[in-house]
Structure 1
Amino acid sequence: MTRRHLLLSSTAVAAALFSCFAAPLALAQDNTGQPIKLVVPYAAGGPIDVTARALAERVRESLGTVVIDNRAGAGGNIGADAIAKAAPDGLTIGIAATATHAVNPWLYSKMPYDAGKDFAGITQMVRVPNVLVINAARAEQLKINTVADLIAYARANPAKLNYGSGGNGSAGHLAGEMFKQKAGIFALHIPYRGANPAQLALLAGEVDFNIDNLAAAAPNIRSGKLKALAVTSLEASPSLPGVPPLAATSATFSGFSIDTWWGLVAPAGTPRPVIDRLNKAFVAALNAPETKTRFGALLAEPVPTSPQQFDAFMASERAKYQQVVKASGAKVD
């Protein structure tokens, strides 16, 4: 082979390699007529869907059109699986949440995706504290004004307390079991078909306490129908002045932290330059004052991160919930 032929051949190989790696990057950078699809593994109208749509609007100038694709079902597994199996070209991304990427891997006997291997983090989006609430009338009747009062009553009256949740393996169930374990008390778990029926049961006095999402519980706390005893985040919530973090109520609950969170992921194998560009656009959107105001109305705190930080956070959450799910005995077959 002549030197000229060798040079031409090497140039052709280099060009081919460049096209292979540049193609997905070009798709993510120039998506005119090729909108980015953002898969939300839950039904339209909920807090996750609302925040996803808000961000989609804010990144329009930097990323082009972002279309929301709601894929609800199987506790979020259907939508998460759609993200995992999409082409890693930056044109399909989606939401990773507490359930889909921390709880479900231990709750479901068979999973269609690997939460630890099939995704590449882009950025965490938000966290929402959970809150330990008791029926206000019941609290007055039993003279329960603090977490210590609740624990003291449970110890003095074995098997008389119960608590509700949105179902076996739900965030409220797992948080309740973790609370019982730390406190060394017993309270009967009563599962309902969703968080709203569980809250209605609490309001009706069918159950004594719940650990609920703050966004869902706040209106009834403000109206005086529910009494908030503690939030389950490490820090107090500015939305509930005077309500302490559970971790601060006693050494028993040191480090106790169960928040509801969600963020953005891409399929594993998405090129790093694409991930970085998506991260830059969405972090800027999360840091915008308008986003903070809009999310604040949902009691959701924006928490933009690097892709590496979000990957590490999801791994730590999976490790935490592995123990919590095991202790609860919850299983979905």
Structure 2
Amino acid sequence: MRILVLWLAMVMLAGPAPAQGSGKLTPLPSGPALLDWVRTTLAELLDGMTGIERDDNPNVFIVRTTDPALPVFALTALEQGPVATEVLTAEFISRFRASCDPLRRRGELAEYAIFFEIHTVECPRSTSRANYYWIMAYKDSDRAQLIAMVGNIEHAAAINARGDRFAAVLGMRIYPTPRSLPEALAVAQAHAGDLHEYDPSQFSLLGEGRARLRVKSMILTGKPGTWEVTAPSCSAVRMREIEDGPPVTVDSEITIDLQRLATLVTRQGPDLVLRAGAYGTLTRLVSSPNPMTIPLAVEDGSLAPDSPNHAELDSLLLAWERFCATASPVSGLTVPAPAGAAPSMPSTTSRPLP
């Protein structure tokens, strides 16, 4: 059944019939034929469409729909040679990267030589507007292709829903999204926010800001156990790392003030800018008769996404942004030019979406 799903996925994204039998991606068509490819191949993304028009950029289309949650969005389709999907995605967002938060992996499908990967990214500092991107890159051994939707950041949920329906047709696994502060904190602490590792069936919301997450491997000992989270408020978070018995052992206790963290850690594009200070404590209880408490603190500086502590701090800051901060939606949408396309492709689009 798995092979059948993968074969259907390749047929769906392949070109003319002669190439479909090979189970390989075919080059994207150019000129007017690309619009026909978009209409037929990406039908799930065009549900409720009332009109589609080519933008000044030949690989970008403006789609209007009857959906009040997503009345207009931009759709991009482009291709490169045999590069990794993460390379194609990085090149696509490179021209506007400084205005965007870190990339978030949303889903994947990998089997044999076929690989699909979905990322989303919020770009709250796109000029005077805030944009949201849903990006699916996929490849075989010969070429990589990319499909992206961009809309106002206030329409992020609708963009995800539309993209995820399309991904479901391909049999892709969509990562779960934390729905509460305790869940976001549990995932942040147990998996550094990596939803690829998170199994929501192991999470229990106990009420009154309390939750429990079972994990296969604890941070300090590598043994199975449970993370307990108590978060009556964003400024009073307490977490315990409890190792399975016998005997049941509390390995560590952590306190975090997310409000304080948000004053010390801010975003500058995908990087984190740090101002020196403490935002909590860690008490190590395992293998020691005398518990040792150390401050959780940051020093002045900045962290790039590939820095050792970036994932942990980013996941905690993201929990604060989603469940503690008050967001102000920004209207409007600008469609940046996709990177990684043919050399003749213009570098920017000349007009914003209405």
Q: Tell me if TM exceeds 0.5.
A: no
The answer to which structure has the higher strand fraction is: 2
The answer to which structure has the higher helix fraction is: 1
Quickly name the TM-score band, shorter chain normalised. under 0.3
Choose between structure 1 and 2 for higher RCO, CA contacts under 8 A separated by at least 6 residues: 1
